[in-house]
Structure 1
Amino acid sequence: MTDSPISNALATRDNGPGALVAQHRGDIELVMPSHMQKRVGAWIRTTQGLLRRDEKLLKAAQNDPGQFMAVLLDAARLGLEPGTEQYYLVPRWNNKKRHTEVTGVRGYQGEIELMYRAGAVSSVIVEVVYENDQFEYRPGRDERPLHEIDWDAEDRGKLRLAYAYAVMKDGATSKVVVLNRGHIAKARAKSDSADKDWSPWNTDTEAMWLKTAAHRLTKWVPTSAEYIREQLRAHADVAAEQVLATAALPQPLLEDDEVVEGEFVDEDEVA
């Protein structure tokens, strides 16, 4: 008896990348931040849905399942949603392997999420400026940019600038990052897939301008991983100082302030 087309389809599906994601649920959950672990099932189903909807992504995952899982584990470790503006899943041509493979690209929402998660900021502002917008910012004079938009305008013109800054928990403003077209062009040039039709640089240009500004801001604002490490290091330093301080204190006398005096013993008197 031969297998039916439906049985063959199920077998193919069960052996494909979608099934691989489910099989590695334990590994994915292990590297996820604790606040994400409760929804690991939804995270996996979302990823499987992406594969069903995008044939190019599915093919790339089939070409190199190991690379595909490495990308997913990176997204899971960061606590970001794959296939969203937090973390893009992109099929990219690998010249050495001569096939497409899945690569991960952190999006601007992902960069912002990591800043918020660190707990040092109260808000993060990342925006793009179009030619017909009004934008003014002078470092040393202005604490924050002044950006005015005519929301009734049908056409705001071409992309002109991208900027980002954070308001810290104490109310202070972080460094303000402002990038022009030249800065964006240099960032784009570093991407070996920017000229491909499927690249986020072409499918979601504004988002990539935002991502570039947000990523540049991470040099001045702590993100979750580094902030947690600094906090742990600070706690360890405080604990070490407390131990040293305790060791340096004068040792207390014995109970009832009793002092035990030493006595020399003549060796000749010892039997």
Structure 2
Amino acid sequence: MSQISNAIATRDEGNLVQQYRADFTQVLPSHIKPDQWVRVATGLLRRNQDLARAAQRNPGSFLAAMLDCARLGLEPGDTYHLVPMGGEITGITDYTGLVELMYRSGAISTVIAQVVHAGDEFTWEPGVTERPQHKANWFGDRGDMVGAYAYAVLKDGATSDVIVRSRAEIEKVKAVSKTAKSGASPWNQWPDRMWKKTVLRELAKTVPTSAEYRTLQTQATDAAAVQAPPAAPAALPAAPDDEGPIDAEFVDEP
């Protein structure tokens, strides 16, 4: 591609993001700086020409995926992936993005998600052990991936539901994925991450995530403020009688 063509492509990619800037700003969480987020999105398009061409051909699917990414407050190309497929762009939350949303809720202290290999020692007895026991030779040949699990430890020390899925169960999830057949799909580039994501998505249904938890907390606070009875006025000092005041009837001034 000539230098002139490169310059035109770069300009178009920048314009594509900038023209939707107001839409992104409206849905981005308050802790995300719109300028920085837009720069990251523009840089992603400039680095990935396949994605840029798909976005130019189908700006509607690009906008839908990017709005979803913005609403979640995730980073395009890092914790949220945009995969061009069949003339459309599909947005995929990375497993690290799911973990980030759980931590953001403020209710979780630890999230554990691991892939189990054939050479690992793995024990999980529901109703008997609180959490899975997993031993592995982390730096040696662990064999094929055979399953994955995930759980969270809440701030009060309680353990969430434990999600355990076998290889066969995870393969069923992959089989119905719209992007699994694409060479750019995370299923093909980072299969271990997608195995973790599969169990984390199930875990996310049982624990607070950012939007859910904060919304519920805000609603609860607002409801308490509306329903709380007005504060009773401070008691007034008792009027002294002819014999003089009784010590126990004094009310200290604030």
TM norm structure 2: 0.84
Deviation at 1:218, TM superposition (A): 0.7
Identical positions, percent: 47
Q: Deviations over 1:185-240 (max 9, x none)?
A: 22112212312222211111111101111110011111011111211221233123
Q: Is the 8 A contact 1:17 1:65 kept in 2?
A: no
What SS does the corresponding residue of 2:125 show, helix, strand or coil? coil
Which residue of structure 2 aligns with residue 92 of structure 1? 85
TM norm structure 1: 0.79
Q: Is the 8 A contact 2:118 2:146 kept in 1?
A: yes
Which residue of structure 1 aligns with residue 201 of structure 2? 215
Deviation at 1:122, TM superposition (A): 0.7
Going from structure 1 to structure 2, the CA distance change for 1:158 and 1:241 (only over 3 Å counts) comes to same
2:38 is the alignment partner of 1:44: yes
Q: Distance in 2 between matches of 1:192 and 1:77?
A: 22
Match of 1:205 among 191, 213, 236: 191
Which residue of structure 2 aligns with residue 35 of structure 1? 31
Runs of 5+ consecutive residues of structure 1 not aligned to the other structure: 94-99, 250-255, 257-271
2:153 is the alignment partner of 1:167: yes
Q: Distance in 2 between matches of 1:8 and 1:67?
A: 24
2:104 is the alignment partner of 1:117: yes
Q: Distance in 2 between matches of 1:29 and 1:178?
A: 38
Equivalent pairs counted in the alignment come to 232
What SS does the corresponding residue of 2:31 show, helix, strand or coil? helix
2:215 is the alignment partner of 1:229: yes
Runs of 5+ consecutive residues of structure 2 not aligned to the other structure: 233-238, 240-254
Question: Greater CA deviation, 66-75 or 212-221?
Answer: 66-75
Match of 1:61 among 20, 44, 55: 55
What SS does the corresponding residue of 1:35 show, helix, strand or coil? coil
Which residue of structure 2 aligns with residue 129 of structure 1? 116
RMSD over aligned CA atoms reads 2.1
Q: Deviations over 1:156-180 (max 9, x none)?
A: 1111111111110011111111111
Q: Is the 8 A contact 2:76 2:82 kept in 1?
A: yes
